[in-house]
Amino acid sequence: MSTPVAITGIGQTRYAAKRDDLSMPGLVREAAKRALDDAGVDWSDIDAVVLGKAPDMFEGVVQPELFLAGALGAVGKPMMRVHTAGSVGGSTAVVASHLISSGVHKRILTVAWEKQSESNAMWALSQRFPFAPPTTAGAGGYFAPIIRAYMRRTDAPEHIGWQVAVKDRQNAALNPLAHLQIPDISLEKVQASPMLWDPIRYLETCPSSDGACAMVMSCEDDGHKDAAWVHGTAMRSEPMLFAGRDEVSPQAGKDCARDAYAEAGITPADIDCAELYVPFSWYEPMWLENVGLAESGWRAVDEGRTALGGDLPINMSGGVLSSNPIGASGMIRFAEAALQVRGRAGAHQVDGAKLALGHAYGGGSQFFSMWIVGSERPS
Amino acid sequence: MELTSPFTLEYAYKRSLGPVLSRFFTALRDGRLEGVRTATGRVLFPPLEYDPDTGEDVGEPVEVGPGGVVTAWTAAPPPGEAWVLVRLDGADTAMLHRFTGDPASLETGLRVTARLAEQRVGFITDIAGFEVEA
């Protein structure tokens, strides 16, 4: 029988295009300190630190876990780094939770971050490595044809992407930490924004952000009546390229979701709200189908079900479309899911949320991580 | 047959220093050597953003040096370079830097002094090196 895992502290930085007021250690420190303060614990109460970070080329920092040990109070303690491309923030939280559930540690600080202003992800993702197929134009260039395939397969109308772009920015306006603040966002504005990678328009893409997210996890509630509890975790991966691969709805994503629901002992219908990793608007309907939350993702969007007032709110925080410090973006999904079931999401709170899903994906839709968190301690 | 292909990767990264190190390098550019005091009273030079012993934030700047004592050293045979660990007066930690004097004079406990560069830009090489104290 595994030990229940409580999320007792959550800390996030303000997300912005440039946090040049802080060094990289200062950035992770800001989130970590807020998580400790939220949990009511100190550096000395932490047994181990689990750090997540997307590819080293993004900032040119190799072995960031060594670079950041001092800033995260990890000197003399176990410290490890997790790396699963864009899904890393989620995987990091999953790995951290396993160090508690397995009984190895009692209290963990987990942190994920990216400082995009000191790097250039577009450059890092556009290298033409010898003997390898190029992704040629960053993440958008890679995902655009997959989105087209989804639209063709499901007869989805073009405005679905615009609706997601509007909805997430309206949610971001309720989240003071969100990077993009576009209070006058509208379908017309999205539709009129420049086409970047057909069918993805400028306002249907995520920003480049600096930021960090941190959580304190514990084998007990640390005296917090409003701790969130981990009910299920799962990770899956598959190769980026193989014959017959369904890039629109990868098998690894389906398997990951199935495992997470099974561990939590629930069905997708039990989920009150979810934070899905949506860096391009169309990935909301696509992931809704992939993780089993909706039979037709685009119809769920079109009917307004995924809006904050709908019956299946998605990306209440504004999502990746509003803040994207890549390495942290997955952990922000997981942390925001936890905030919802703690009833601590402020203006973007879903009334009475009891079970929430956090989701992240990375690479060429080849790494997946998910967790299901609840307001009640799992039985 | 082995296939190979050249591949050159170049990118100019940026770095932001944050408040503690920005203060240190600004002072250095202005010709002052400033460490930081930790909550436990130790003076770290060069400064760190966080106390490595406790993980706590560090405190106010403390001017140190320019004189100090060699705590360890190494020298390559002439005409090689010599390197010293120097604990500056007023500091509790030592820094590694170049020794510009006669390597034959090096010994642990030697008194040395920092020689600042004429043109300073806010980089650690604004300390050109250490030489034997007059």
Kindly state whether residue B4 falls inside one of the protein's structural domains: no
- State how many domains chain B has: 1
Q: Which has the closest alpha carbon to A361: A143, A34, A41?
A: A143
Report chain A's C-alpha Rg in angstroms: 19
* Cα A330–chain centre separation: 2
User: Which CATH number goes with the domain that contains A67?
Assistant: 3.40.47.10
CB contact under 8 A, A70 and B52: yes
Q: Which amino acid is at B64?
A: V
| Residue pLDDT, tens place only, A333-370 | 999 999 999 999 999 999 999 999 999 999 889 999 99
CB contact under 8 A, A23 and B54: no
Q: Which residues of A touch B6 (CB under 8 A)?
A: 130
> Contacts of residue A117 in chain B, CB cutoff 8 Å?
14, 16
Does the pLDDT of residue A1 top 60, yes or no?
no
List, for residues A261-315, the tens digit of each pLDDT value. 999 999 999 999 999 999 999 999 999 999 999 999 999 999 999 999 999 999 9
> Using CB atoms and an 8 Å cut-off, which of residues 269-288 of chain A contact chain B?
none
Range of the domain at B89: 18-132
Confirm if A81 and A64 have CB atoms less than 8 A apart.
Answer: yes
CB contact under 8 Å between B14 and A73, yes or no, is: no
- The DSSP letter of residue A376 is S
CB atoms A75 and B11 under 8 Å: no
Q: Are B125 and B81 in contact (CB under 8 A)?
A: no
How many domains does chain A divide into?
1
Per-residue confidence (pLDDT) for residue B49, from 0 to 100: 95
Q: Which of A26, A44, A59 sits opposite B13 (nearest CB)?
A: A59
In a domain, A26, yes or no: yes
Chain B within 8 Å of A119 (Cβ-Cβ)?
Answer: yes
Q: Is residue A163 part of a domain?
A: no
Q: Is the separation of the CB atoms in A67 and A24 below 8 Å?
A: yes
The alpha carbon of residue A128 is apart from the nearest alpha carbon of chain B, in Å, by 9
Strand order through the sheet with B43-44: B43-44, B34-37, B61-63
Residue in B13, B21, B25, B56 to test binding to A, most A beta-carbons within 10 Å: B13
Q: Domain range holding A26?
A: 6-119+209-218
Answer whether B16 sits within 8 Å of A43, measured CB to CB: no
CB contact under 8 A, B55 and A73: yes
**Cα(A145)–Cα(B16) distance, integer angstroms:** 37
A331 membership: H or E segment, kind and range: helix A326-342
Distances (CA, A) of A225 to A6, A101, A206, A222: 11, 20, 35, 9
For residue B76, being part of any structural domain is answered with yes
Length of chain A: 379
Cβ of residue A126 closer than 8 Å to a chain B Cβ: no
- Nearest CA to A355 out of A370, A368, A369 is that of A370
| Rounded (10°) angle between helices A283-290 and A159-172 | 90
Please state, as a whole number, how many other Cβ atoms lie within 10 Å of the Cβ of residue A299: 15
Q: How far apart, in whole angstroms, are the C-alpha atoms of residue A226 and residue A345?
A: 12
Provide the shortest C-alpha distance from residue A97 to chain B (in Å).
23
Residues of chain A found within 8 Å of residue B15, distances taken between Cβ atoms: 23-24, 118
Closest A-chain CA to B3 = A131
In a domain? residue A346:
no
Residue A109, burial from CB neighbour count under 10 angstroms (0-12, 13-18, 19+): buried
Mean pLDDT of A72-87: 93
SS (H, E, C) A339-354: HHHHCCCHHHCCCCCC
**Pairing state between β B34-37 and B61-63:** antiparallel
Q: Alpha-carbon distance A332 to A371, whole Å?
A: 12
pLDDT recorded at residue A107: 97
Q: What is the pLDDT of residues B6-57, one digit of tens each?
A: 888 888 888 999 999 999 999 999 999 999 999 999 999 999 999 988 889 9
Burial class (CB in 10 A: 0-12, 13-18, 19+), A324: buried
A50: tokens are 């689990």
Tell me if A19 is assigned to some domain.
Answer: yes
Report if residue A92 sits inside a domain. yes
Quick one: DSSP state of residue A13?
Answer: P
DSSP β-bridge partners for residue B63: B34
- Residue A43 counted as domain residue: yes
pLDDT(A135) > 80: no
The pLDDT value recorded for residue B134 is 87
Domain assignment of residue B99, yes or no: yes
What average pLDDT does range A167-182 have in this prediction? Answer: 98
With CB atoms and an 8 Å threshold, state whether A43 touches B56. Answer: yes
- CA-nearest of A86, A120, A116, A165 to A17 is A116
Nearest by CB to B13, which of A22, A26, A119?
A119
How far away is chain B from the Cα of A77, in angstroms, using its nearest Cα? 12
Q: Residue A256 phi/psi, 5° resolution?
A: -60, -45
How far apart, in whole angstroms, are the C-alpha atoms of residue B87 and residue B111?
10
Does residue B6 form part of some domain?
no
| A212-261: pLDDT as tens digits | 999 999 998 778 788 999 999 999 999 988 999 999 999 999 999 999 99
Does residue A31 belong to any structural domain of this protein? Answer: yes
Give the C-alpha separation, A294 to A336, whole Å.
21
pLDDT at A376 over 90: yes
> Is the residue at A77 inside a domain?
yes
Contact of A20 with chain B, judged by CB distance below 8 Å, is answered with yes
